[in-house]
C-alpha cells in the first residue's frame, strides 16, 4: 500500500518519492470527499455498462458492485478509512475497493479516467445541490408572498425611494412582491443552469474517448442524464456548467443582499420602520442601547463572498488550454462555498422575515412627508389639461414655498393651492392622502391595492406548481 505522499500510486514510473509539501498541495480529499455518493453512483453505472458490453464478466461486475455497496455502508457509518496519500475521493474509493474485493477492483477503471470521472461526479452532485437550492428559493418565495398578503389589509404604506430620497408612497405588500419577482427570476436562472448541465461526460476517458467498445448512451441513461456529451475534449475540459451555477447563485445572493440592506436601513433609529426579531439580532458588548442587525448585515456581506467565488473560477478557466488541466480541481471549493453560503442565506431570510414588527404609523408619516405626494398634485393638473412639464414646475414652486416656511403638503388649503393655479378644486385636497395616492396608481404592475392583490393571488398559484 502507498505510504504518505507516495509516488507508488502511479506504478513504476517514478523513481522518487513525492515531496511532502507537493503531496499536501495536490491533495483535494479534504473538499472533494463531498462527492463520494456521486462517485459511487458513477462507478456503478460504469461497472454495469462494462459488463453489458462484455468488457467485464458478469461475475467481475457483481463483485465490484458488492464492493461499492460495502464502501457506501462504510462511509455512511463513518468507518471508511479516508487517506490523504490517495490524493482525492476517486483514488480513495478505488484503493478501498481493491482492498475489499481484491485485484478485480482494479478492473473498474477500464475505459475510464479521473478526468471524465470527476466531471461526471460534479455534474451529478450539482444536479442534487441545485435542486435543493430551488427548494430553498421556493420556501423563501412563499414567505415573501405570505408577508405581502399579511400587510395588505389594513394596507401598510411606506415611502418608496429613488436615490434614497422619499419619492412616492407604496404598499409594503408591493415592496415584498418586488422581492418575490426578483427571487422568481433567480429561481429560473438556477433551473436554466440545471437544464444545461444535464449531459454525461462519462466515457470521454482522459480526453479522446477510449478504444474499448463502451456504451456512453447507456451510462448517461443509467445516471439520469439527458444524453452523453458529444465531444470528449469538451466533456473533460469544460466547466461552464459550474460557472453558470455560480453566476446564478451570485445573482441570487445579490437579491438577498439588497433586501438585507433595506432591513438594515429600515430598522435603524433614523428610519424606525421595523423592528428585527430579538432571535435574529444581537446586542453590543459596550453600548446597552444597541440592537444590531447582524444577520442582515452578514447576508449583505456574503454577496462579496459569492462574487469572489465566481471571479475565482472565471479566472481559473480563462485562457486554459484544452483539455483537462489540474487547474480545474480548483472549481470545487468556490462552488461548494457559494452554494453553502446562498442556501443558508435563503433559509435565514425566510426565518427572519415573519418575525419583523412593522410600525405603520411611522411608515405612513414618512410616506406623507418629504413632499412624497408632489407627483400626485402635478398629475392632477395634467389631468385637468395643463401640459405635464408645466404642472411639474407649478408644483415645484409650491414645494419650494412650503420648504422655505418649514411646512408640508398636507398643510395646504384650497385657497392657497388656487393661488398657484385656478385648475385646483376641492378634490385636489383629497389627493393629499397616502391612501389616495397609492390607490390612484391602479395600472398593471402598480402599487394600488387592487393590482397588488391580483398579483399575490397569481403568485400563490405559481407557487403551487412544480417549478421545473
Q: How far is the CB of 333 from ligand ARG (least distance, A)?
A: 10
Distances (CA, A) of 362 to 151, 234, 333, 368: 15, 59, 45, 10
Closer CB to ligand ARG, 177 or 339, in the complex = 339
| Contact status, residue 116 vs residue 203, Cβ threshold 8 Å | yes
Instruction: Please give the Cα distance from 385 to 412 (Å, whole number).
Output: 22
Closer CB to ligand ARG, 120 or 341, in the complex = 120
Closer CB to ligand ARG, 242 or 377, in the complex = 242
User: How far is C-alpha 32 from the chain's CA centre?
Assistant: 21
Q: How far is the CB of 237 from ligand ARG (least distance, A)?
A: 11
Active-site entry in 268, 284, 393, 419: 284
Closer CB to ligand ARG, 324 or 424, in the complex = 324
Instruction: Please give the Cα distance from 394 to 188 (Å, whole number).
Output: 46
Q: How far does the chain reach from its first CA to its final CA, in angstroms? A: 47
Q: How many CB atoms lie within 10 A of CB 293?
A: 23
Please give the full DSSP string across 194-240, using - where no structure is assigned: HHHT-EE-TT-TTTT--SS---HHHHHHHTT-SEE-S-HHHHHH--H
Helix axes 172-196, 449-464, angle to 10 degrees: 30
284 labelled catalytic:
yes
Closer CB to ligand ARG, 114 or 216, in the complex = 114
Instruction: Please give the Cα distance from 219 to 49 (Å, whole number).
Output: 6
Closer CB to ligand ARG, 40 or 459, in the complex = 40
Q: How far is the CB of 90 from ligand ARG (least distance, A)?
A: 6
DSSP code, position 321: P
Active-site entry in 163, 285, 413, 468: 163
Block residue for cell numbers 452523453: 228
Q: How far is the CB of 114 from ligand ARG (least distance, A)?
A: 4
Q: How far is the CB of 241 from ligand ARG (least distance, A)?
A: 14
C-alpha cell at 429: 385636497
Beta bridge partners of 291: 283
437 labelled catalytic:
no
At 110, give phi and psi (nearest 5°): -60, 135
Closer CB to ligand ARG, 31 or 271, in the complex = 31
C-alpha torsion sign, points 114, 115, 120, 121: positive
Q: How far is the CB of 173 from ligand ARG (least distance, A)?
A: 47
Beta bridge partners of 275: 357
Q: How far is the CB of 79 from ligand ARG (least distance, A)?
A: 23
Positions that interact with ligand ARG (CB under 6 A): 28, 32, 88, 114-115, 118, 324, 326, 328-329
DSSP code, position 165: E
Known catalytic residues are: 163, 284
Amino acid at each position: 500500500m502507498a505510504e504518505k505522499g507516495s509516488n507508488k500510486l502511479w506504478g513504476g514510473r517514478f523513481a522518487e518519492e513525492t515531496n511532502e509539501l507537493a503531496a499536501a498541495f495536490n491533495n483535494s480529499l479534504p473538499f472533494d470527499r463531498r462527492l463520494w455518493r456521486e462517485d459511487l453512483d458513477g462507478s456503478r453505472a460504469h461497472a454495469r455498462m462494462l459488463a453489458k458490453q462484455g468488457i467485464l464478466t458478469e461475475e467481475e461486475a457483481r463483485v465490484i458492485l458488492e464492493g461499492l455497496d460495502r464502501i457506501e455502508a462504510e462511509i455512511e457509518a463513518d468507518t471508511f478509512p479516508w487517506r490523504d496519500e490517495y490524493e482525492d475521493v476517486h483514488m480513495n474509493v478505488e484503493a478501498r475497493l481493491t482492498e475489499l474485493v481484491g485485484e478485480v477492483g482494479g478492473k473498474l477503471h477500464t475505459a475510464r479516467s479521473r478526468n471524465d470521472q470527476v466531471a461526471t461526479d460534479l455534474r451529478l452532485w450539482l444536479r442534487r445541490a441545485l435542486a435543493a437550492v430551488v427548494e430553498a428559493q421556493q420556501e423563501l418565495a412563499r414567505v415573501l408572498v405570505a408577508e405581502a398578503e399579511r400587510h395588505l389589509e389594513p394596507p401598510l404604506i411606506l415611502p418608496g425611494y429613488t436615490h434614497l430620497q422619499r419619492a412616492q408612497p407604496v404598499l409594503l405588500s408591493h415592496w415584498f412582491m418586488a422581492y418575490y419577482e426578483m427571487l422568481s427570476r433567480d429561481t429560473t436562472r438556477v433551473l436554466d443552469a440545471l437544464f444545461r448541465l444535464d449531459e454525461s461526460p462519462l466515457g470521454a476517458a482522459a480526453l479522446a474517448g477510449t478504444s474499448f467498445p463502451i456504451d456512453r448512451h447507456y451510462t448517461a441513461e443509467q445516471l439520469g442524464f439527458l444524453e452523453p456529451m458529444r465531444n470528449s475534449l469538451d466533456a473533460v475540459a469544460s466547466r461552464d456548467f459550474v460557472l453558470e451555477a455560480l453566476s446564478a447563485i451570485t445573482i441570487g445572493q445579490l437579491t438577498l443582499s439588497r433586501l438585507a440592506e433595506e432591513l438594515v436601513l429600515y430598522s435603524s433609529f433614523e428610519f424606525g420602520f421595523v423592528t428585527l426579531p430579538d432571535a435574529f439580532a444581537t446586542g453590543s458588548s459596550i453600548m446597552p442601547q444597541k440592537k444590531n442587525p447582524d444577520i442582515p448585515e452578514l447576508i449583505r456581506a456574503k454577496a462579496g463572498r459569492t462574487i469572489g467565488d465566481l471571479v475565482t473560477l472565471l479566472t481559473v478557466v480563462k485562457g486554459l488550454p484544452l483539455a483537462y488541466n489540474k487547474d480545474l480541481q480548483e472549481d470545487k471549493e468556490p462552488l461548494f462555498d457559494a452554494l453553502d453560503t446562498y442556501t443558508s442565506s435563503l433559509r435565514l431570510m425566510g426565518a427572519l422575515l415573519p418575525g419583523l414588527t412593522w410600525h405603520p404609523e411611522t411608515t405612513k408619516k414618512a410616506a406623507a412627508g418629504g413632499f412624497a405626494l408632489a407627483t400626485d398634485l402635478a398629475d392632477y393638473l395634467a389631468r385637468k389639461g395643463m401640459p405635464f412639464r408645466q404642472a411639474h414646475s407649478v408644483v415645484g414652486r409650491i414645494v419650494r414655498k412650503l420648504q422655505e416656511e418649514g411646512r408640508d403638503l398636507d398643510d395646504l388649503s384650497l385657497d392657497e393651492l388656487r393661488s398657484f393655479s385656478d385648475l385646483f378644486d376641492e378634490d385636489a385636497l383629497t389627493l393629499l392622502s397616502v391612501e389616495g395616492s397609492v390607490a390612484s396608481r391602479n395600472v398593471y404592475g402598480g402599487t394600488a391595492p387592487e393590482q397588488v392583490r391580483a398579483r399575490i393571488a397569481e403568485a400563490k398559484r405559481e407557487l403551487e406548481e412544480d417549478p421545473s
